[in-house]
Chains A and B, each alone.
Chain A
Amino acid sequence: ETGVTQTPRHLVMGMTNKKSLKCEQHLGHNAMYWYKQSAKKPLELMFVYNFKEQTENNSVPSRFSPECPNSSHLFLHLHTLQPEDSALYLCASSLGTSVRNNEQFFGPGTRLTVL
């Protein structure tokens, strides 16, 4: 595997379910990101991790719970979601979070549908 991978690619869940999204990067990067992409809206940054430490939580509801066990893996745990949470969730990674090493590489995304 190369680049940034995300699993599953598609997920349908009920509002009472608990599920997790997984992201893995094979680039030797230290920073990882979760974004939400909804139709007709700009990409919304949700969380940033740098060297496994969360450095950004963009006022994301607590029903989204990120986990970063190491610099290569990032999870997004989901519980009691709402239909408006249906979106494409993109993971990205970068070498770092400073100006010169922040070029972000994106995974293909997980298309989430909440019924």
Chain B
Amino acid sequence: AQSVTQPDIHITVSEGASLELRCNYSYGATPYLFWYVQSPGQGLQLLLKYFSGDTLVQGIKGFEAEFKRSQSSFNLRKPSVHWSDAAEYFCAVGTLSSGTYKYIFGTGTRLKVLA
């Protein structure tokens, strides 16, 4: 069955430090992968997506993610975290089931940024 695992429930980093959020997926076919961010009281906003091609994907707000097929991973990175990056981050894989394309989400990683 398709699944997405985000092994870190909480991560705390200092402002200006680098960040890596982990995401592993289980999907038999070529995965379509996404990272979303959810700020408190808000809906989810798409940070970046991978469909094909270059395995290093650039997104908004200075984020990037790298698709590694051999590791079934799609980790999110940012070289220097800002206080406004404190939020919850969700990894998702797009799957085709019964003719409908759907997302399967991970449980999320909550990021705290120390001043």
Chain A interface (Cβ < 8 Å from any Cβ of B): 4, 6, 40-43, 45, 48, 50, 55-56, 90, 92, 97-100, 102-109
Contact = CB atoms under 8 A, between A and B. Distances in A.
A42 B106 contact: yes
B43 A55 contact: no
Given A40-B107, A103-B46, A103-B49, A97 B100 contact: yes
A99 B104 contact: no
A104 B102 CA distance: 10
Contact of B43 (A41, A42, A50, A109): A109
A41 B102 contact: no
Interface in B20-63: 32, 36, 41-46, 49, 51
Interface string B92-105: 00101011111111
Contacts of A92: 43-44
Contacts of A48: 100, 102
Contacts, number: 54
Interface of B: 4, 9, 32, 36, 41-46, 49, 51, 90, 94, 96, 98-108
Nearest to B32: A99
A98 B102 CA distance: 9
A36 B41 CA distance: 15
Contacts of A55: 99-100
